[in-house]
C-alpha cells in the first residue's frame, strides 16, 4: 500500500481532533449535567421541608453524598454572642459535636465565618488556622476538609463543612465549587426555616401566655370569691362565744331570732371594690351580745394576692380572738402580737369598735386608720378622734388604747379606706376628706343604701374614668335602739 498523501494525513488528523473535541464536549456536558442534576436534587431536598432540624438533616445527608465525604456539619453563627455553634453534625461522632462553641475566627470554620472566604485543605493538621478543639473532644481525626460560608442577603449565617474524602482521596476544586453551589440555596432555605421556627416559637409562647393568663384569671376569680366569702353579708352572732343556759350548761350561741335579729335589720351596710381581682381592704361585723355590735374596717399596705393573704390571716385572728368581755384595744393588741410573729413586711391600718345599740355607748380603737365620722341627725359630721396606735404588724409590743364616744338614736358612723379619700382623677388630684364630708353632710337624709351608693357615685364621677389605683371599702353603722 502506498504512502498516503500529506493532505490525507492532515485530514485524518483534523478528523481525530474534531472527534476528540466532540468527545471532550460530551464528557464536559455530561459532567455539567451531572452537576446540574446534583444541584437540582439538593434544591428539591432543600424545598421539601420548612422545619429547621429536618432541613439540616437533609442538607447534611445530601452534602455528604454528593461530595463523597465521611462527615459533614452545619455551623451557625450566634450574632448576639459572636460565636459559632454546631446545630447539627452527622457521622459517627456527630452527636458529641453539637454542644461545642467556637469564637469568631477560631479554627478553620471560625476563619471562614469571619472572612467570608471558602477553603479546601488537603492536610488539616498542618494548616495554621487549624484548631483541635473539636477533634480532641470527639477523638475524630480530620485528614482533609472543605468549608464554605453560607450567606443570605449579604450576611453570613453560618458555614457548611465536609470532612474526609472517602477512599483516602482529596477533595477537588470541582468538589469545592459544588459545595459553594450547594451553600447558596441552602442558606436561603435555612434562613426561611429559622424564621419559621422563630414564628412557631412566638405562636407557642403566645398560646402559653394566653393559657397561663386564662388559668391565672380563673384562679383569681376563685380567689376573689374566696376572699369575698370572708366578708359578712349580714349580721350574725359570734358563734365562738359560749353562753349558759338556764340549766347552767354551755351551748354555742346562735343568731338570736328576737332582739338581735330585729335590731340588726337596718344597722349595717358595707361595700368593697378591689383595685384588682383580689385586694387588701377588709371589714367584719357581728353581735357579741343581745345589743352589742362589733365592727372593724382595715386596709393592708399592699395590693393583690399578698395583701389578700395578709387580710385573710388578720380577719381570722380577729374572729378567733374576739370575746364578749374583750375591748377593741385588747383585741388589737393580741392580734398585733400574732401578726408580728409572721415577720411579714406588710402591715394593716385598722379601726374597730363595739357599739351598744341600746345605750349608744361606743368603745373603739384606732390602728393608724383613716378617721371615721359620726353623722348626726342634722347632717353634722364629727370625727371619731382619740389616741391612735400604729398599724398592725409594725411594732410587736404595741399596746392599743380604747376610746369612747356616745351615739344618739338614728346617728350613724361612716368608716372608709383611703381608696375613697385618695382616689385620683386623670390630673392626679385626690378626692380628699373635705369633699367626702361635704357630700355626706348634704346627703345625710338618704337611707343607708342610698347614702353609700351616692358616695361611690361621687368618687367615680370625680375620677372621671381614671384607673382605680387602690382598693375601696366602706362601712356604715347606724344606732337603731331597741
Per-residue pLDDT tens digits for 15-44: 666 666 666 665 654 555 455 555 556 555
The model's pTM is 0.57
> Going from the N-terminus, what domains does the chain have, and what CATH number goes with each?
33-197 (3.30.450.40), 215-478 (3.60.40.10)
Q: Which residue has the cell 451531572?
A: 34
Q: Return d(Cα 441, Cα 458) in angstroms, integer.
A: 13
Q: Return d(Cα 363, Cα 274) in angstroms, integer.
A: 29
Q: Are 367 and 299 in contact (CB under 8 A)?
A: no
Residue 262 has pLDDT above 50, yes or no: no
Q: Are 467 and 426 in contact (CB under 8 A)?
A: no
- DSSP lists the bridge partners of residue 335 as none
Q: Return d(Cα 159, Cα 147) in angstroms, integer.
A: 7
Q: Over pLDDT 90: what percentage of the chain?
A: 33
Residue 418 has pLDDT above 90, yes or no: yes
Q: How far apart are the first and last CA of the chain?
A: 155
- DSSP lists the bridge partners of residue 237 as 287
Give which of 325, 350, 354, 355 is closest to 336, Cα–Cα.
350
Sorted by sequence, the CB contacts under 8 Å of residue 70 that are 6+ apart come out as 64, 91, 163, 164, 165, 166
Residue 413 has pLDDT above 80, yes or no: yes
Which region, left, alpha or beta, applies to residue 423 given φ > 0 means left and ψ of -120 to 50 means alpha?
Answer: beta
Residue 334 has pLDDT above 60, yes or no: yes
Between 57 and 386, name the one with better pLDDT. 386
Per-residue pLDDT tens digits for 56-114: 777 777 778 888 888 888 888 888 888 888 876 555 555 566 677 888 988 898 999 99
Classified as helix, coil or strand, 39 is: helix
- DSSP lists the bridge partners of residue 351 as 297, 366
In this predicted structure, what is the pLDDT of residue 3? 57
Per-residue pLDDT tens digits for 299-330: 998 777 788 888 888 988 998 899 888 999 99
Provide the strand spans (E) within 137-182. Answer: 145-152, 155-165
Q: Is the dihedral of CA 62, 171, 181, 104 positive or negative?
A: positive
In this predicted structure, what is the pLDDT of residue 365? 97
Amino acid at each position: 500500500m502506498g504512502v498516503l498523501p500529506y493532505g490525507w494525513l492532515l485530514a485524518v488528523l483534523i478528523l481525530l481532533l474534531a472527534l476528540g473535541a466532540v468527545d471532550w464536549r460530551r464528557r464536559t456536558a455530561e459532567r455539567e449535567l451531572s452537576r446540574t442534576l446534583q444541584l437540582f436534587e439538593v434544591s428539591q431536598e432543600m424545598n421539601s421541608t420548612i422545619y429547621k432540624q429536618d432541613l439540616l438533616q437533609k442538607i447534611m445527608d445530601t452534602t455528604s453524598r454528593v461530595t463523597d465525604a465521611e462527615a459533614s456539619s452545619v455551623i451557625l453563627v450566634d450574632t448576639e454572642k459572636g460565636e459559632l455553634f454546631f446545630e447539627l453534625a452527622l457521622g459517627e461522632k456527630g452527636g458529641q459535636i453539637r454542644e461545642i462553641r467556637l469564637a469568631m475566627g477560631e479554627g478553620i470554620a471560625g476563619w471562614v465565618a469571619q472572612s467570608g472566604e471558602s477553603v479546601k485543605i488537603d492536610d488539616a493538621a498542618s494548616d495554621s488556622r487549624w484548631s483541635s478543639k473539636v477533634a480532641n473532644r470527639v477523638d475524630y481525626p480530620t485528614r482533609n476538609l472543605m468549608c464554605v460560608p453560607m450567606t443570605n442577603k449579604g450576611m453570613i449565617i453560618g458555614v457548611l463543612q465536609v470532612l474526609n474524602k472517602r477512599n483516602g482521596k482529596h477533595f477537588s476544586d470541582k468538589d469545592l465549587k459544588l459545595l459553594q453551589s450547594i451553600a447558596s440555596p441552602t442558606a436561603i432555605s435555612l434562613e426561611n426555616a429559622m424564621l419559621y421556627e422563630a414564628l412557631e416559637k412566638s405562636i407557642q409562647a403566645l398560646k402559653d401566655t394566653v393559657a397561663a393568663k386564662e388559668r391565672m384569671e380563673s384562679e383569681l376569680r376563685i380567689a376573689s370569691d374566696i376572699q369575698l366569702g370572708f366578708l359578712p353579708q349580714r349580721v350574725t352572732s359570734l358563734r365562738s362565744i359560749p353562753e349558759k343556759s338556764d340549766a347552767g350548761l354551755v351551748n354555742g350561741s346562735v343568731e338570736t331570732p328576737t332582739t338581735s335579729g330585729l335590731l340588726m335589720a337596718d344597722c349595717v351596710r358595707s361595700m368593697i371594690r378591689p383595685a384588682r381581682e383580689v385586694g387588701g381592704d377588709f371589714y367584719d361585723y357581728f353581735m357579741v351580745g343581745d345589743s352589742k355590735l362589733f365592727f372593724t374596717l382595715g386596709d393592708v399596705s399592699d395590693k393583690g394576692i399578698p395583701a389578700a393573704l395578709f387580710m385573710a390571716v388578720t380577719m381570722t385572728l380577729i374572729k378567733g380572738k374576739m370575746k364578749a368581755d374583750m375591748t377593741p384595744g385588747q383585741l388589737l393588741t393580741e392580734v398585733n402580737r400574732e401578726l408580728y410573729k409572721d415577720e411579714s413586711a406588710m402591715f394593716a391600718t385598722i379601726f374597730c369598735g363595739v357599739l351598744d345599740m341600746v345605750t349608744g355607748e361606743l368603745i373603739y380603737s384606732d390602728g393608724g386608720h383613716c378617721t371615721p365620722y359620726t353623722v348626726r341627725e342634722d347632717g353634722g359630721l364629727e370625727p371619731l378622734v382619740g389616741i391612735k396606735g400604729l398599724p398592725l404588724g409594725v411594732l410587736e409590743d404595741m399596746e392599743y388604747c380604747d376610746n369612747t364616744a356616745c351615739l344618739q338614736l338614728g346617728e350613724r358612723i361612716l368608716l372608709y379606706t383611703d381608696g375613697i379619700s385618695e382616689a385620683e382623677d386623670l390630673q392626679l388630684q385626690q378626692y380628699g376628706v373635705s369633699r367626702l364630708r361635704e357630700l355626706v353632710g348634704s346627703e345625710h337624709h338618704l337611707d343607708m343604701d342610698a347614702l353609700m351608693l351616692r358616695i361611690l357615685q361621687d368618687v367615680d364621677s370625680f375620677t372621671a374614668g381614671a384607673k382605680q389605683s387602690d382598693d375601696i371599702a366602706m362601712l356604715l353603722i347606724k344606732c337603731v335602739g331597741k
